[in-house]
């Protein structure tokens, strides 16, 4: 039984661990954070990611934790509706297999599926990695040295595995010219259930979304030139106050509530583009390999697809990693490239940089109310063209529940 070290307990990592166990391999999952992350932002979940979740027996839980958004609504300075559209077309294009869910909730549900089958080590990471002919020797922060047959980096946009095995991030990162921030608060008013509200000025957008348990999510997207971003919470909040301080609508109220939070997601909107997703006995999955950007809306589903295909190819190749890694890329590279191109087109729609760009974006959205237009304009990005392989999973029916977690 081959041993596989997986870095990252977000989306790709737990999915990969589940399917590796189903294939008869022995995964170990390591997460840099001391516990599963909470908060963050919401994602739209459909397509093959939804299909894989169904095969994992998670659809009931996902729909219970998620939301069925009815409308995207763009508002003006006074909160009056400027334009918007209903989401019925997305339900039609996906046969009602479409849900909005907090990314952290999806991660938690995936993690629950590997309880009892996978060794999990929190508050650790690889600090040294040495590939050898018959395995990979790793030194772990707080957990000593270990040896594995394979190492998989599923540790996101800022992947530590990618940095150790392939080189620094700047070699592979493509900035899309925006910064994104998100936080949640409890008890915010007003609340608009199942409606995603967006307020925009040139080069910046503020979104509000009502969550369960009297919580509200705020999403900031704003244009930003290259250069380093503030790394401390105080400086990140200061940047948001400066960028949105003159905004109307609910900007003053939201910035006031910003001061309450100590959990602020704050990052550059980027893609990862690599000529190869593997090197020797090390491979990458999800955002670590091909981040399409947070604004693409499909990052979590693509992470699950890549994890499923990588595990399936390792199973089909009887663990011959060179063959499996090659087949993994062959199946997915063109598909992922198309998603990255679509994400580049889509990113500027969140926060057009000029007043004219805002006006044009709103006209496009207004056209979605014309029968057939929304289907025509979004169909190619909503409907998956990839054929999801059917692999043999000899231990799928034997997977128990309950996980061994080591702090």
Please check the confidence at residue 404 and state whether its pLDDT lies above 60: no
* Domain spanning 3-173+270-398, CATH architecture: 3-Layer(bba) Sandwich (3.50)
If pLDDT is split at 50, 70 and 90, which confidence band does 169 have?
very high
Task: Give the pLDDT score at 40.
Answer: 76
Paired strand residues for 269: 178
| Beta-carbon contacts of residue 355 (< 8 Å; ≥ 6 apart) | 202
Task: Give the pLDDT score at 403.
Answer: 41
| Helix, strand, coil fractions of the chain, as percent rounded to 5 | 40, 30, 35
Task: Give the pLDDT score at 1.
Answer: 65
Distance CA 205, CA 182 (A): 12
| Beta-carbon contacts of residue 208 (< 8 Å; ≥ 6 apart) | 192, 196, 197, 216, 217, 218, 219, 250, 254
Paired strand residues for 112: none
Please check the confidence at residue 401 and state whether its pLDDT lies above 60: no
Paired strand residues for 215: 186
Distance CA 342, CA 128 (A): 36
Domain boundaries, the chain: 3-173+270-398
- 231 to each of 204, 221, 237, 238, 264, how far by Cα in Å? 20, 17, 10, 11, 11
Distance CA 104, CA 97 (A): 20
Distance CA 15, CA 332 (A): 17
Q: What is the percentage of the chain residues whose pLDDT exceeds 70?
A: 94
Structure tokens at 338: 């198309």
């Amino acid at each position: 039984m081959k041993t596989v070290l997986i870095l990252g307990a977000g989306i790709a990592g737990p999915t990969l661990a589940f399917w590796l166990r189903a294939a008869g391999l022995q995964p170990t999952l390591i997460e840099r954070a001391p516990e599963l992350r909470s908060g963050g932002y919401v994602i739209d979940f459909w397509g093959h990611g939804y299909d894989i979740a169904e095969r994992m027996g998670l659809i009931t839980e996902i729909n219970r934790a998620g939301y069925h958004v009815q409308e995207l609504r763009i508002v003006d300075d006074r909160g009056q509706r400027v334009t918007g559209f209903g989401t019925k077309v997305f339900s039609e294009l996906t046969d009602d297999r479409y849900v909005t869910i907090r990314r952290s909730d999806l991660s938690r549900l995936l993690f629950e599926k590997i309880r009892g089958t996978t060794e999990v080590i929190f508050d650790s990471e690889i600090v040294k990695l040495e590939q050898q002919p018959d395995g990979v020797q790793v030194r772990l922060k707080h957990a000593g040295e270990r040896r594995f047959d394979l190492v998989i980096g599923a540790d996101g946009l800022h992947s530590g595995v990618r940095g150790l095995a392939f080189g620094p991030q700047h070699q592979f990162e493509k900035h899309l010219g925006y910064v994104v921030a998100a936080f949640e608060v409890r008890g915010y008013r007003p609340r608009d259930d199942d409606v995603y509200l967006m307020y925009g000025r040139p080069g910046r957008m503020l979104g509000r979304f009502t969550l369960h348990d009297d919580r509200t999510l705020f999403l900031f997207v704003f244009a930003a030139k290259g250069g380093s971003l503030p790394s401390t919470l105080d400086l990140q909040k200061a940047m948001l106050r400066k960028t949105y301080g003159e905004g109307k609508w609910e900007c003053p109220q939201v910035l006031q509530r910003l001061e309450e939070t100590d959990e602020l997601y704050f990052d550059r909107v980027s893609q990862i583009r690599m000529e190869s997703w593997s090197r020797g006995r090390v491979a990458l999955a999800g955002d670590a390999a091909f981040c399409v950007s947070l604004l693409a809306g499909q990052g979590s589903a693509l992470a699950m697809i890549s994890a499923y295909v990588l595990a399936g190819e390792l199973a089909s190749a009887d663990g011959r990693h060179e063959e499996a890694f090659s087949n993994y890329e062959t199946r997915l590279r063109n598909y992922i490239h198309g998603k990255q191109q679509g994400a580049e087109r889509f990113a500027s729609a969140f926060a057009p940089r000029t007043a004219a760009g805002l006006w044009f974006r709103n006209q496009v959205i207004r056209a979605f109310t014309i029968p057939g237009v929304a289907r025509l304009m979004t169909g190619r990005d909503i409907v998956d063209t990839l054929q999801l392989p059917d692999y043999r999973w000899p231990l799928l029916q034997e997977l128990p529940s309950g996980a061994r977690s080591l702090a």
